[in-house]
Structure 1
């Protein structure tokens, strides 16, 4: 049984994900880390703003202390903020977050003492402990202690400021419209951007785990408020985060949505040199492929999800490869020389360095010309999920296209591609399509959707 998906474990709070289950997850990972250290360890614990976040953080804290671990409770903090703290303190971390999922979801993400998400082999060890219930419970007088850490967010912002080109950004005198989407970034990104020398205006800027202004996922249909704010404030750029602020999506100075794939391609083009390698997921856009080809670099594809991308980057680095940038077109970008983690605020600053040189619309236009369609097909149970996957497999093998099965079924037709795969975080099968002709992209998505609907 696989507990951890492509980005941790998630589920609807108090239905699929319960306090008792989170306690057991914490007991399992605490037992693994204690065994590895041959004694009790200190563990950082953070959460995003979700309404159930404190409840699950309490559950995780109870599970960790019950197996003898001491817990540093960081409170509400972006996931990359917890990762920064873990790295600087040399302690592993547990993050309570469902990232971009709707308000009713929550989840658990595990981070090593280097600030990097746990790799698949480490997660499998935790899963084994969890499923076998081999917990190293401490005696009553050896249970762990907890302490509140009040300055973790401030330390994270300070670390960000030390890692970007503050002078270039400040000299550009930029006005930035920010939509943290009521998430954890509401407590860090406004201060960070102002200390970079930007004038900052915000929407959906108050932390609120019910996400009243918009859903946490920063996709185009959810960013109408930000696009309007960019226009009314005459801003140079708009920036949106997801619930735990490990992503950044942009709006140009005209109030037009910048495709995440275009932003990734622009950031990659500014970083890649001949002989470098970048890593992305199997739903990679041709925009990034074009940027990689133009730079004389290489591209490695992985299954979708930050865990898979990070695992690939670590392997490439061990092999002596240079990987200056990697990520997905959903706003989750990694700059491994800074930290092997997705960081929405850091990504935003790196994009601002580009905007300081030319308008965001020009940056986006340089990587335009492709049209994307994304469709979700919901399922009710595992049996229906299997029927959908079998239907996708049959349609893929019947198509006259190059088939890739790294994660789901990707069909490359030369002029366009379509991918169908089950989500690792929600009960949906996702269909992605891309082409230069918008009708062609829609046609491919519709054809796969029809095949799945017949199932």
Structure 2
């Protein structure tokens, strides 16, 4: 696909992503969808209102009535789509920096569109083929105020509310100025937790921290955990479909570690789980221990969702899936990454024992991640050619499902282009920190030499 990547389409607002483009996406989606009603929603970014206006106009121009939800977490939009049997144009750039925005398309079944449906919409965008309605059949818009509250109510009815409330937990929460600021604080309070927040006001400038919930952006949350004597810290990204944790000592918990802990609590012999090609050995170990099957996909929620649906058709049982960036699926609940729900499932574990004990079995690995930016397609091509040569020369058989992953038994390294930013990413993992750093540095040096 030329326009849609691993999680929709994104770009710097006013440059790669313009209102004109969003208008075309909405017109194309409305042309392809068999519906007379659709949803438009957004996260907190400053350009969100501009782009939702464009999306609503595009849908209305092809004769579709529009439900406008306003600022709404991605999982709340997905729940609304499923409940109302309507598709959505969602304006969000998730974890990307504040100057970015993006478009994500959700089907009337409450699931992000699979690749083959995105390709059909993309064909209409590129050909500019739209079923424009006559003047007396254009769509109308209405404001819907209940989506966030209905989302919270559904989660409250789904998780183990009694166990969490009985534990009398204190939760330190960092919504990161994103859409989760409108839902997660009240959700955890209604679960019976004492909640203290940092970066808790919705603000598309993201003044307190960048939207991506990585360790370098979350120092304030670690301090809050210690100051409030909290049992756990929880951080979201801009659209609240991810959750990253801190333990009761204010120590950052790797996303791969929390994924392994949650998977260990969910998986049984004969189950299947799905993860991206940058999967940690932690999850591999869990699957080996319980007798579960691990399926790998290219990175990105769209790819994981597509594989889950394929496996469901084959009769597989998939209680948990996801990536080590905090984006975890509980498919039996809903086929979406849901930061607040992920946090609640983690609280079910913390209710029984301290966070540090929950994650202790999965901490004996070290991870390194390097991002190499590029400005031109020539630079990207040069780095990818260098990655291919690096993989060919390595003493390991490369997995080329998404980039180049080299497994060495004691460690692994992955080189792949980002699907959402002009970057090539390098991931490395090993039991020994020096070994992980060495693998990442060797790959980085090879790519930088090619780029320069």
The answer as to 2:250 corresponding to 1:273 is no
Aligned to 2:402: 407
SS of the aligned residue for 2:278 comes to coil
Residue of 158, 162, 169 corresponding to 2:164: 169
Q: Distance in 2 between matches of 1:276 and 1:15?
A: 45
Structure 1 runs (4+) deviating above 4 angstroms are none
The answer as to 2:81 corresponding to 1:86 is yes
The answer as to 2:159 corresponding to 1:134 is no
Aligned to 2:416: 421
CA RMSD, aligned part only?
0.6
How far residue 163 of structure 1 moved from its aligned partner, in angstroms, is: 1.0
Question: Residues 332-347 of structure 1 correspond to what in structure 2 (within 5 A)?
Answer: 332-347=327-342
Aligned to 2:60: 65
Aligned to 1:305: 300
Residue of 225, 247, 260 corresponding to 2:242: 247
Question: Residues 8-407 of structure 1 correspond to what in structure 2 (within 5 A)?
Answer: 8-33=8-33, 37=34, 40-407=35-402
Q: Deviations over 1:5-39 (max 9, x none)?
A: 00000000000000000000000001000xxx2xx
SS of the aligned residue for 2:158 comes to coil
Q: Distance in 2 between matches of 1:297 and 1:150?
A: 42
How far residue 414 of structure 1 moved from its aligned partner, in angstroms, is: 1.0
Aligned to 1:5: 5
Q: Deviations over 1:155-212 (max 9, x none)?
A: 1111111110100000000000000000000000000000000000000000000000
Unaligned runs of 5+ in 1: none
Q: Distance in 1 between matches of 2:282 and 2:36?
A: 44
Q: Distance in 2 between matches of 1:50 and 1:368?
A: 35
Q: Deviations over 1:200-228 (max 9, x none)?
A: 00000000000000000000010000000
Unaligned runs of 5+ in 2: none
Q: Distance in 2 between matches of 1:3 and 1:120?
A: 11
Using the size of structure 1 for normalisation, the TM-score is: 0.98
Question: How many pairs align?
Answer: 450
SS of the aligned residue for 1:162 comes to helix
Q: Distance in 2 between matches of 1:88 and 1:257?
A: 36
Using the size of structure 2 for normalisation, the TM-score is: 0.99
Q: Distance in 1 between matches of 2:158 and 2:66?
A: 28
Question: Residues 433-444 of structure 1 correspond to what in structure 2 (within 5 A)?
Answer: 433-444=428-439
How far residue 402 of structure 1 moved from its aligned partner, in angstroms, is: 2.3
Q: Distance in 2 between matches of 1:50 and 1:270?
A: 35
Q: Distance in 1 between matches of 2:430 and 2:196?
A: 35
Aligned to 1:448: 443
